[in-house]
Amino acid sequence: MKEITQGKDRGRIWSLRYASQGVENDADIARLSAELHISPVTACLLCNRGYTTSEAARRFMACDANAWHDPFLMQDMLKAVMRILQAVENREKIAIYGDYDVDGVTSVTSLQLYLESLGANVISYIPSRTKEGYGMSVAAVSKLAEEGIKLIVTVDTGITANQEIAYAAELGMDTVVTDHHECHAEIPSCSAIINPHRPDCGYPFKELAGVGVVFKLICACEMTRSGRSSEDALSAVMEDYLDLVAIGTVADVMPLCDENRFIVSKGLSLIEHTKRPGLAALLDAISGNGTIRPAAGAAQKPRRKVNASLVGYGIAPRINAAGRISHAMKAVDLLLASSRTKADRMAEELCNINLQRQTEENRIAEQAYRTIEAQLTSEETPSRILVLEDDAWMQGIVGIVASRVTEKYGLPSILISYDGSVGDTPSDDDIGKGSGRSVKGLNLVEALADSKELLVRFGGHELAAGLTLRRGNVQAFREKINAYATRYLTDEMTAVRYEADCEVKMQDMTMTLAEELNLMEPYGVSNPTPLFVMRDVTVQKVIPLGNGKHTKLVLYADGLMMQAVWFGTPVTRLPVMVGDRADVLFQLSINEYQGVRSLQMILQDAKLSEAYANTCRSEVERFEDVMSGAPISPSENIIPNRDDIACVYTLLRGDARLGYKTFFDRDLLTRIKAGGGQLDYIKMRLSLCILNQLGVCHIETPGQGIFVFDVDFSAPKTSVEASPLYRQLRAQVTEG
């Protein structure tokens, strides 16, 4: 496999989570298949995810509240509940302090709705991304004190706000922290800190989103107020909040296992039948209904199926856009809206903000791509970490563009913006704020730590981090972090990686299997959409779709055929063509059209099967040997005769009359065979060379397997024997 690290030619690595080799694993799969009456493929998927017993597999697929844990298992939960309920009872003014992303917005909305249901005197506060930045600030704390706040409850933030919380205490305000981010060595001193990542917290599931922690707090308050059990408290409040909790959990890319699986499964069902005016308006806006339509006078369309994908790619970006372009409280106000008329207007505004975000994101991305392409072609030693800067880039957008850059080029990237810098002219003292993304294997925080003397501050995770630095240090930082990458970043890290669950045969692909896969939803982190490998299928047809943007293929194997769709890949970019034998990487789905259900593959990647690729290489090598004068055995039968050459010429002449000027060698061979021609690859290539030599056609090869041609319709008739190459080939035939 070609191992190139940059641009379109990056290496592509397939790996299998399961290969039928381990006796113990095979036994687990056979047992699950028999005991649960499911296909061996589904049993394999369950084992891959760690559910190797029937009991564990049943719990996983049931997706119910059996995994629910008592909220009071969290450290400080009782302290938090008692302080909050005391504030409600005493009519103290409470401020909910949240983050500006989707997790923060849904956390703020959930807690505000709950506290208002108790009659609390409560307001919400989310800082401006551009003006205030992430987390609590002294200025914000001062403002809340001036408004008479007595209790601050942080959501999805606060665990590192030691100084700000201490300052709040000086001003007479208590703080309850709810968060899910990693803790520093010293946690804040306050009324209570609820965070499953606290070192002293024994809560059995650590991967709740910020809104998941808030929902645990709500359940704990209900248990205390009403004396209900954990399960009864959950039943009492989940209909009111789990839609919001699911949105925040999916958007924050939390693992969909344990409690999160139940949260998202139940939450998606609530979203599907939502009675929340703001959410209903947003779903209609996404589908092009309500006040927003895809085109003037367009007919209403049914809402898209509500699943984790719709949340991640439809709902979440619109909520996130508010905090990136405008203010996150616009999204909170939409989710809190009680009037559908008002909600429609707010949903339209949010969608328009998202369009602005998309426009700005695309502008920055195209500018970044041009800069990168220029660097990669001009630098003697191309960058291993892409560090880009610009004065006009919006700080709220550079992170998502960095994700696109890293995905496109396979390299870690850092985009720096000086948006909001003071002064009419650039200064070395200007503060730039950057957002970076990395590839698996290179810890971005560790890379930044290697350059910490050049940075004002930095922080984040292995694959995503933020930083602040002065303009005058950018070039030195670029050089130092690239020196770090030269030491630690390998070509294997930069390759496109696909981790498939297992190999399958065409006969495994049944409607029963597809329906079993639906039982494993919702899919996401820790429960990825099943990805399969099928080997040595024959490409029967290739059909352009969607004005050429997508491709449909008909694949054949084991006496069966199935349609496959490759979204975002036009025919011109396919790595395979009609007649090829290929290995395909795909997801299985059910296509429903006009009441008819059929199976289809959703292709993720494809490549020539190993045996077929070896055959193709051998044929090319033998053709080149023959052209170099190598002896030809009489038994090879590779020298084309007059009929063979005429067959090739007839096809090219027909193509030329239709205006075609290019062809692929393997595609031409497939068409020759489909028309009854008896040529193999070497005969076809030799025929092309003879036609070119006779002047009947002009044929060039600008790239591997690609040919450009012209047919001279005015060329005089000639004989095959007039070709020196033809005579030379006959002379190369050995005796006997």
pLDDT band (50, 70, 90) for residue 304:
confident
177 and 232 in a common domain: yes
DSSP per residue over 2-46, as a string?
--B-SGGGB-EEEEES--TT-HHHHHHHHHHHHHHT--HHHHHHH
CATH number of the domain residue 152 falls in:
3.90.1640.30
Q: Per the domain annotation, does 294 fall within a domain? A: no
Closest by CA position to 644, among listed 729, 541, 712, 716? 729
Q: Check whether 647 has a pLDDT greater than 70.
A: yes
pLDDT, tens digit, 9 for 90 and up, residues 13-40: 899 988 655 666 788 999 999 999 999 9
Q: Per the domain annotation, does 345 fall within a domain? A: no
Task: Yes or no: say if 185 and 207 are a contact pair by the CB < 8 Å rule.
Answer: no
Q: Per the domain annotation, does 320 fall within a domain? A: no
Domain limit, last residue, from 593, 608, 623: 608
pLDDT: which is higher, 141 or 382: 141
Instruction: Lowest mean pLDDT of 78-92, 369-383, 461-475, name the range.
Output: 369-383
259 and 153 in a common domain: yes
81 and 52 in a common domain: no
pLDDT, mean of residues 200-225? 96
Tokens, residue 555: 């694949």
Instruction: State the pLDDT at residue 102.
Output: 95
Beta bridge partners of 543: 552
Q: Per the domain annotation, does 371 fall within a domain? A: no
Q: Per the domain annotation, does 352 fall within a domain? A: no
633 and 595 in a common domain: no
Tokens, residue 594: 């006009």
Taking the CB of residue 117, how many other CB atoms lie within 10 A of it? 11
239 and 264 in a common domain: yes
Instruction: State the pLDDT at residue 194.
Output: 98
626 and 726 in a common domain: yes
Domain limit, last residue, from 247, 273, 299: 273
Taking each helix axis from N to C end, the angle separating 642-657 and 665-674, rounded to the nearest 10 degrees, works out to 110
CATH number of the domain residue 591 falls in:
2.40.50.460
pLDDT band (50, 70, 90) for residue 382:
confident
653 and 539 in a common domain: no
Q: Per the domain annotation, does 260 fall within a domain? A: yes
Taking the C-alpha atoms of residue 351 and residue 337, their distance in angstroms, rounded to an integer, is: 16
For 698, the domain range is: 612-731
621 and 598 in a common domain: no
Closest by CA position to 502, among listed 54, 39, 57, 61? 39
Question: Average pLDDT, whole number, for the chain?
Answer: 91
Tokens, residue 539: 């490409």
Task: Yes or no: say if 71 and 78 are a contact pair by the CB < 8 Å rule.
Answer: no
**3-state SS string over 281-336?**
HHHHHHHCCCCCCCCCCCCCCCCCCCCHHHHHHHHHHHHHHHHHHCCCHHHHHHHH
Instruction: State the pLDDT at residue 285.
Output: 92
Q: Go through the chain and tell me how many residues it has.
A: 736
C-alpha Rg value of the chain to the nearest Å = 31
DSSP run (H or E) holding 363: helix 340-378
Taking the CB of residue 493, how many other CB atoms lie within 10 A of it? 19
Instruction: State the pLDDT at residue 448.
Output: 94
pLDDT, tens digit, 9 for 90 and up, residues 96-131: 999 999 999 999 999 999 999 999 999 999 998 878
398 and 250 in a common domain: no
Domain limit, last residue, from 488, 507, 533: 488
pLDDT, tens digit, 9 for 90 and up, residues 478-502: 999 999 999 999 988 988 889 999 9
Instruction: State the pLDDT at residue 421.
Output: 58
600 and 641 in a common domain: no
pLDDT, tens digit, 9 for 90 and up, residues 435-467: 999 998 999 989 999 999 999 888 777 888 889
Q: Per the domain annotation, does 330 fall within a domain? A: no
Instruction: State the pLDDT at residue 129.
Output: 84
Q: How many domains does one find in the chain?
A: 4
629 and 586 in a common domain: no
Give the three-state DSSP class for 417.
strand
The DSSP call for residue 65 is G
Q: Per the domain annotation, does 620 fall within a domain? A: yes
Alpha helices (runs of H) in 37-146, residue ranges in sequence order: 40-48, 54-62, 77-89, 102-117, 138-146
99 and 53 in a common domain: no
Percent of the chain with pLDDT over 90: 77
